[in-house]
Amino acid sequence: MKALGRHLVADFFECSGDLNSPDMIMKALEKACTVSGATIISKTGHHFSPYGVTAVVIIAESHLAIHTWPEFKYAAVDVFTCGTTVDSQAAFLSLKDDFGSDRVELQEIHRGILTDEDLLKVTHGPKPMEVDCGV
C-alpha cells in the first residue's frame, strides 16, 4: 500500500530535560529537523504561566509539535512527515534524547492511505511512500 504521510505520536514520560524552557524545546525541535533532513519553513511557540510550553515547527514536509507538562515530567510529541526524504525516526530519537525521557509510548499512523485506483487519478505531486498497513 502507499500512504501520503507518516505520523509518529509519542508520549514522553519521566523526562529529565527542562520542559518549562521554551528555548530548550525549540532548540530540540530544530535539532530534530536537522538530523532528520527536514526543511524548516517557520516556527512558533508559547510559554504558559506558570508551567508548560507548546512549540510547533512547520517543515516543507509537514510539522513537528510538542506540548509539555513540566510538573508531570511529560511531553506530548508529534512528528508528521510526508514524502520519503525525511527520517521521522531520527527526529523522534533526537527528541527522546534531548528530553531525557525514560519511558516512551509511541504510535505510528500512516496517513492518506491510497488505493491503486487513487494513484491512477494523480497527475502531479510527490510520490507516496510504501507502507505495510497490515491490510
Q: How far apart are CA 80 and CA 8, in angstroms?
A: 6
Question: How long a stretch of residues is the chain?
Answer: 135
Segments forming the whole domain that contains residue 102: 2-130
CATH number for 116 = 3.60.90.10
Kindly state the cell numbers that stand for 27.
532548540
67 in any annotated domain:
yes
In degrees and rounded to multiples of 5, residue 127 shows phi and psi of: -80, 140
pLDDT at 49: 94
Per residue in 17-46, pLDDT (tens digit) is 999 999 999 999 999 999 999 999 999 999
Catalytic residue of the set 7, 15, 36, 62: 62
Is 15 catalytic? The answer is no
In a domain, 50, yes or no: yes
Residue 135 counted as domain residue: no
Is the N-terminal amide bond of 50 cis, ω within 30° of 0? yes
- Identify the active-site residue in 7, 67, 88, 110: 67
Entry pTM: 0.85
